[in-house]
C-alpha cells in the first residue's frame, strides 16, 4: 500500500471533505471566533497534507497513483473556486500552500491538455477570481503566481486575452503598491509574449484599443509603470512575430513624438528604454512621410542630442546602434 494511504494519513477524499467543511465553517462563524480559528488551523493542516501527497515529504517521492486520485478529488469537488473565493481568510503560509497545490495540478499531464487545465478552461470563474485577486493586497501575489502558471497553457492564455479581464491589467499595472504593480506587470508581460502567434493575432485584431490603453501607461506619473511599459513595447516591436504591429506603430507621427519626448525625460533609465523604441522608427527603411517630416524638421537637434546621449555607457551594442542612428539621421534630406 502506498505510504500516503495509511491509517494515520487521511485519504484524498477525506482531505478534500475536511477542507470544504472548514471553509463552510469559517464562512458561518465569521472572523475572530473560536470556531473559525479552529477551522483555520484544521484547514492549514489539511492543505499541508494535500501538498505532501502532491510533492512528496522530503523522504519519499510523490506517488503517481496518489497524485492522480488527489487531483480527481479536488476537481470533482470544485475545491479550486471555493478556495480562491476564501483565499483572503487563510493564514499566510496556507495561501502559499494553496498556490503551490494549484500550480502542481496544472502541471499534471494525465491527458494531452491536463485535467486541471481542462477544468479551468470549462470554469471561467476561476480565471476571473484570480484576476480580481489583484485588487486585494493580501492575496495579490498568490493570485499572480497562479495566473502565470495558467498562462503557460495556450488555451487558458487565450481565454484571458479574449476576456474583459485582459483590459483590467491596464489598471492594475499602474497601482501605487510597488509589489502588486510589479507582479501584475509580470503577468501582463507573459500574456503578451508567452504564446507569440496567439498574442500577435490578438494585438492585430485589437490594435487601436490596445494602443490607446498602452499610451496611457507610457504617459503615467508612475516611474516604474513607464519604465516597464517602454521596455515591453520595445520587446514587442522587435519580435518578428509582431512585424505587422511594428509596421503600424512606427508609421504613426504621434507615436514618434511620444518617444522623442521620452528620450528627453529627466530619468536616465526612461531615456535608455525610449531609445530602443525610437531606433525602430529611424532604422525603418520605408518611413512614412509624416515620420520623415518630423525627423527632417528635427534633424540638427537630434544629431546634437544623440551625439551627447549616454556617452558614459560602455555597451558595444548600444554604441553601435547609436552610431548607426546618427548616420541614418544625417542622411535624411532637409525639408523643402
Band the pLDDT of 32: cuts 50, 70, 90: low
Radius of gyration of the chain (CA): 25
Per-domain residue ranges of the chain = 1-123, 250-336
Predicted pLDDT at 29: 72
The DSSP call for residue 334 is P
The string of pLDDT tens digits covering residues 185-228 is 999 999 999 999 999 999 999 999 999 999 999 999 999 999 99
Q: What is the dihedral of CA 59, 61, 63, 68, to 10 degrees?
A: 120
Predicted pLDDT at 112: 45
Does residue 290 sit in helix, strand or coil? helix
- For residue 67, CA distances in Å to 53, 64, 94, 107, 206 come to 6, 5, 19, 11, 41
Average pLDDT, the chain: 92
Is domain 1-123 classified as CATH 1.20.59.10?
Answer: no
Sequence-distant (6+) residues with CB within 8 A of 47 are 19, 94, 97, 98, 101
Of 221, 224, 199, 220, the residue nearest 210 (C-alpha): 199
- For residue 17, CA distances in Å to 5, 56, 103, 147, 331 come to 16, 21, 20, 25, 73
Cell of 287: 518611413
Averaged pLDDT for residues 228-241? 96
Cβ pair 301, 266 in contact under 8 A: no
Averaged pLDDT for residues 100-128? 87
Averaged pLDDT for residues 18-35? 83
The 3-class secondary structure across 19-82, one letter per residue, is HHHHHHHHHHHCCCCHHHHHHHHHHHHHHHHHHHHHHCCCCCCCCHHHHHHHHHHHHHCCHHHH
Cell of 121: 478552461
> Rounded to an integer, what distance in angstroms lies between the CA atom of residue 226 and that of residue 220?
6
Amino acid at each position: 500500500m502506498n505510504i500516503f494511504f495509511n491509517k494515520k494519513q487521511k485519504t484524498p477524499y477525506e482531505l478534500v471533505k475536511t477542507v470544504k467543511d472548514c471553509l463552510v465553517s469559517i464562512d458561518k462563524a465569521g472572523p475572530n471566533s473560536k470556531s473559525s480559528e479552529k477551522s483555520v488551523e484544521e484547514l492549514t493542516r489539511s492543505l499541508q497534507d494535500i501538498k505532501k501527497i502532491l510533492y512528496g515529504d522530503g523522504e519519499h517521492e510523490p506517488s503517481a497513483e496518489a497524485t492522480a486520485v488527489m487531483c480527481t478529488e479536488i476537481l470533482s469537488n470544485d475545491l479550486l473556486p471555493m478556495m480562491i473565493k476564501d483565499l483572503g481568510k487563510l493564514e499566510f503560509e496556507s495561501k502559499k500552500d494553496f498556490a503551490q497545490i494549484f500550480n502542481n495540478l496544472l502541471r499534471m499531464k494525465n491527458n494531452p491538455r491536463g485535467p486541471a487545465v481542462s477544468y479551468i478552461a470549462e470554469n471561467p470563474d476561476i480565471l476571473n477570481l484570480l484576476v480580481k485577486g489583484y485588487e486585494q493586497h493580501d492575496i495579490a501575489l498568490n493570485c499572480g503566481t497562479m495566473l502565470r502558471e495558467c498562462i503557460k497553457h495556450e488555451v487558458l492564455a487565450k481565454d484571458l486575452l479574449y476576456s474583459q479581464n485582459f483590459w483590467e491589467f491596464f489598471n492594475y499595472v499602474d497601482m501605487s503598491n510597488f509589489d502588486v504593480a510589479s507582479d501584475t506587470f509580470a503577468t501582463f508581460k507573459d500574456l503578451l509574449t508567452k504564446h507569440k502567434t496567439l498574442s500577435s493575432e490578438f494585438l492585430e485584431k485589437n490594435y487601436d484599443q490596445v494602443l490607446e490603453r498602452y499610451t496611457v501607461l507610457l504617459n503615467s506619473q508612475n516611474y516604474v509603470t513607464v519604465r516597464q511599459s517602454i521596455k515591453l513595447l520595445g520587446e514587442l516591436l522587435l519580435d518578428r512575430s509582431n512585424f505587422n504591429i511594428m509596421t503600424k506603430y512606427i508609421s504613426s507621427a504621434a507615436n514618434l513624438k511620444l518617444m522623442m519626448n521620452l528620450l528627453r525625460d529627466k530619468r536616465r533609465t526612461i531615456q535608455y528604454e525610449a531609445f530602443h523604441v525610437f531606433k525602430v522608427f529611424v532604422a525603418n527603411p520605408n518611413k512614412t512621410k509624416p515620420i520623415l517630416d518630423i525627423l527632417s524638421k528635427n534633424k540638427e537637434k537630434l544629431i546634437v542630442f544623440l551625439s551627447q546621449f549616454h556617452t558614459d555607457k560602455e555597451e558595444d551594442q548600444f554604441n553601435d546602434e547609436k552610431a548607426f542612428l546618427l548616420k541614418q539621421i544625417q542622411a535624411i534630406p532637409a525639408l523643402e
